[in-house]
Amino acid sequence: MNAAPTIRDYSLIGRDAQAAVANGLAAAEWYHTDLARKQMKELMKRSDGPAIRDTLVWLGCMMFFAGLGIALWGTWWCVPFFLAYGVLYGSASDSRWHECGHGTAFKTRWMNDAVYQIASFFMMRNPVTWRWSHARHHTDTVIVGRDPEIAVMRPPDLLRLVLNFFGLLDVWHALGDMGRNALGNVSAEEKTFIPEQEQHKVVRIARLWVAIYAATIALAIYMGSFLPLVLIGLPRLYGAWHHVLTGLLQHGGLADNVTDHRLNSRTVYMNPISGFIYWNMNYHVEHHMFPMVPYHALPKLHEAIKHDLPAPNTSIWNGYREMIPAFIRQLRNEEYFLKRQLPPTARPYREEFHSDAIAAAAE
């Protein structure tokens, strides 16, 4: 017998998935701030320079920290170097995966693809599956039953969130998916967003990765040391915290089932180190509204359209100060959300999403 459904059904093949289609929330037309074509073209312009520089810094720092960690292996002095290596592996890769998946980081296609493959491996995200799931996330951002990348569902599972700061559940599921895909099994949910002609690629990459992890484990056994695993695989756990810290802010606690990114996404000003690790994805409303704009142009895009957006959060801390209490209130009332105030200079959109009926739930 099936358990009674909760109020929200996040399954991609469940009740709310059907309701989203019926209500016109699936593949809907989303709000965009007006921007002159000439200015937009300038912002969308691609170049290789910033991403080559950042990739050299990223991979160079990884090698540097790994080198020192290996040299100091067996002493406590290796710990800080592996912690730094871990963040570059298990967190900076998240934003590299993301930007290169969009194909906007570099102008040159093969560079995007190469960094995308490396970052996908580090993050344990099948590059085929996740390219498609992310496309759906952009089509149906935080639409219940449609978006496969909703990080915090309602009511929030706080234990899951805490465990994911150490990558525990993500990696557990990623390993399960990898094994299942490697055996040739593409799930019914995966089939809802991966076209048939792409599904064999999911299996092929999963098999390659299983071989790499098997070789790493074999090497660790042969050496009688955890070192190979500390370098490959485990950093996805001990270095995950920063990408979870920043990633939860993207949509956490905000409205769902609205077709306006100003209401369901969060822009947060961040310190430059987090900005480098996160590759400017803190300009998240801007990114969702105009995914064509490369990460390095997002601050300029923000300046161009901020008159039409809710005030950004002023820091990571400021974002958490509104988000955590919202999660706690959602434990009691999953209808609660943080209602974004648009500035007087903003163009209102789809008034029903700002209506008193919904606003009441947010009080």
Partner 1 sequence: MSNWIEACAADDIDEEDVIRFDHDGRTFAIYRSPDDEYFATDGVCTHEQVHLADGLVMDEIIECPKHNGRFDYRTGEAKGAPVCVNLRTYPVKVEAGKVLIAIG
Interacting residues with partner 1 (CB under 8 A): 27, 41, 44, 46, 102-104, 107, 128, 131-132, 135, 138-139, 195, 197-198, 290-292
Tokens of 15: 């009740």
CB 91 within 8 A of CB 277: yes
- Rg (C-alpha) for the chain, rounded Å, is 21
Task: Write down the least CB distance from residue 267 to partner 1, Å.
Answer: 20
Question: In this complex, which beta carbon is closest to partner 1, that of residue 46 or of residue 339?
Answer: 46
What is the nearest approach in angstroms of partner 1 to the Cβ of residue 332? 37
Which of 223, 209, 246 has its CA nearest to residue 98?
Answer: 246
Contact status, residue 86 vs residue 235, Cβ threshold 8 Å: yes
Helix (H, G, I), strand (E, B) or coil at 283: strand
One-letter amino acid for residue 50 of the chain: P
3-class SS at 39?
helix
CB of 312 to partner 1, least distance (A): 23
Beta bridge partners of 283: 267
44 vs 161, beta carbon nearer partner 1: 44
Q: Could you tell me the smallest distance in angstroms from the CB atom of residue 195 to partner 1? A: 6
Q: How far apart are the C-alpha atoms of 104 and 297, rounded to whole Å?
A: 10
Cβ-based nearer residue to partner 1, 102 or 296: 102
Nearer to partner 1 among residue 147 and residue 230 (C-beta): 147
Q: Between residues 128 and 248, which has the closer beta carbon with respect to partner 1?
A: 128
d(CA 83, CA 347): 45
**86 or 294: whose CB is closer to partner 1?**
294
Picking from 276, 231, 249, the residue whose alpha carbon sits closest to that of residue 71 is 231
Contacts of 311 (CB under 8 A, 6+ apart): 341, 343
Minimum gap (Å) between residue 256 Cβ and partner 1: 20
| Nearer of residues 29 and 356 to partner 1, judged by Cβ | 29
We find the least distance from the C-beta atom of residue 15 to partner 1, in angstroms, to be 23
Residue 50 burial by Cβ neighbours in a 10 Å radius (0-12, 13-18, 19+)? middle
In the complex, minimum distance from the CB of residue 239 to partner 1, in angstroms, rounded to a whole number: 28
CA angle 151, 155, 156 (to 5 degrees): 45
